Amino acid sequence: MSTPIPAPPELPPLSKPAAAKQRIKLAPKMDVEFLGRTYVTMLWLGAVWTACAWAVTQSGRATASFAGGLLLGALLLKSQEIFVRKVVAPRANGVAGKRDLIARVPIALLLPVKYLAVGLALGVLIERDWLHPIAFAVGFLSVQIVIVSKVVGRFAANALRQPNQEKESQDSKQNTEYCR
């Protein structure tokens, strides 16, 4: 014997203001200079962290490996930026013609070749024991930490700025109504 399952209760439709309040802004817009500021931050923090690596390890090889990881991370980020600006961005805007796409083929081929060359060089350096792999990996990941920290900081600053802007707009509306 089966018992019938009752239909779920109907929920009232959301009103427009309630639906608008539920929208969540996931990330603030990044300006054109964001990557430039990120490179400057990486330079300063990289110098400080490299000095800290020397102070902690007292090893030239580990410190150089850490600095090399930082440098490689920054260079790979810059190459990705160039790739996106030269190959992907014009195509996304619908501006790229057939000749432009053919001219971009060498840049597009450089991307996989670059990673193969980096992998080969790292393999040789690690095999000959010229590179400290852990210090190198920490240095390389430090670049990612800087990027994520800057994005999270920007998101937090935008979140703090939004309630103030809403309050200011409400105050200006009240002032306008009071003056009438």
The amino acid that residue 4 corresponds to is P
pLDDT tens-digit profile of 1-22? 567 777 666 766 655 554 445 5
Residue 64 in this model has a pLDDT that exceeds 80: yes
Report whether 65 contacts 137 (CB < 8 A): no
Q: Distance of CA 125 to CAs 26, 60, 116, 130, Å?
A: 42, 15, 14, 5
CA distance 139 to 74: 10
Could you tell me the pTM of the whole model? 0.66
pLDDT tens-digit profile of 73-124? 999 998 888 877 777 666 555 555 556 666 666 777 777 888 899 999 999 9
List, as one string, the DSSP characters of 48-88.
HHHHHHHHHH--HHHHHHHHHHHHHHHHHHHHHHHHIIIII
Q: Which residues contact 107 (CB under 8 A, 6 or more apart)?
A: 82, 83, 86, 87
Would you kindly state where each structural domain of the chain is located, as residue ranges? 32-162
CA distance 131 to 59: 12
Report whether 131 contacts 122 (CB < 8 A): yes
